[in-house]
């Protein structure tokens, strides 16, 4: 199967919503992780990524303009004590962390959750878990074609990918009203990441100028465990 050009894919889609990219650098030495958020409302756009001890969190750029923090303030990325890296588009990051601390797995955690209660969009919850060896899992919890009475849970588990390849999942299929959920399997993409900053800048440039909000990139060396990160915020 031909690898998708990730930056082209993003530049052709004005509103993929929130997205997770997991994969491997071309030299096969590092795992590659990216997470971005976009927004169409003032409340969604009023955010920045802020580094924390174990990853990142979202916070309001202008506290006076924050109207509803319930679905937009969370920890998208957390490095867990056992070396797993959890990346999600909501507070299910903490659900995964807590379940793993109790001896369960990410599937157990996500089977307790559903899509976001923001009808009529019913935004999917997308999640990724990267293991210390670079293998990873992706998942999406979404409504059944907009039917809020049924949650569909899909799990995708990948052994170590080929060098320079990865997978990309995002929340919305198209920029419509209401927003249709992502369809199909995670897209198989080429990872053009020599270092965290340059990859972040390339991804950021490909996101729609009006709708993009924040982007986080991490590369971690599979042998040494050294981690290199980059954050880009529209408002900072």
Q: What is the pLDDT of residues 89-146, one digit of tens each?
A: 999 999 999 999 999 999 999 999 999 999 999 999 999 999 999 999 999 999 999 9
Average pLDDT on 53-65 reads 96
Report CA 216 to chain centroid distance, whole Å: 9
Q: What is the pLDDT of residues 169-194, one digit of tens each?
A: 999 999 999 999 999 999 999 999 99
pLDDT at residue 2 in the model = 79
Average pLDDT along the chain: 97
| 88 Ramachandran zone, left/alpha/beta (phi>0; psi -120 to 50) | beta
> What is the pTM assigned to this prediction?
0.98
pLDDT at residue 160 in the model = 84
Say how far apart CA 43 and CA 48 lie, in whole Å. Answer: 12
Token pair for residue 220? 């971690």
Q: Does residue 1 surpass a pLDDT of 70?
A: no
């Amino acid at each position: 199967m031909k690898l998708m050009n990730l930056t082209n894919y993003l530049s052709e889609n004005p509103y993929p919503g929130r997205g997770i990219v997991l994969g491997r650098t071309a030299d096969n030495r590092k795992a590659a992780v990216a997470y971005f958020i976009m927004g169409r409302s003032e409340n969604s756009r009023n955010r920045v990524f802020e580094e924390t001890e174990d990853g990142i969190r979202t916070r309001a750029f202008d506290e006076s303009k924050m109207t509803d923090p319930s679905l937009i303030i969370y920890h998208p990325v957390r490095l867990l004590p056992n070396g797993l890296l959890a990346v999600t588009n909501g507070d299910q990051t903490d659900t995964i962390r807590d379940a793993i601390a109790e001896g369960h797995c990410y599937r157990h955690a996500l089977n307790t959750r559903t899509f976001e209660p923001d009808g009529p969009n019913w935004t999917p919850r997308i999640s990724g878990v990267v293991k210390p060896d670079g293998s990873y899992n992706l998942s999406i919890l979404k409504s059944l074609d907009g039917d809020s009475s049924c949650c569909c849970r899909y799990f995708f588990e990948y052994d170590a990918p080929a060098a320079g390849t990865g997978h990309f999942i995002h929340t919305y299929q198209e920029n419509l009203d209401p927003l249709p959920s992502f369809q199909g399997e995670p897209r198989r993409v080429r990872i053009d990441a020599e270092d965290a900053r340059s990859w972040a800048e390339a991804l950021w440039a490909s996101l729609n100028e009006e709708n993009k909000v924040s982007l986080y990139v991490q590369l971690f060396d599979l042998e040494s465990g050294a981690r290199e990160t980059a954050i880009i915020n529209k408002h900072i």
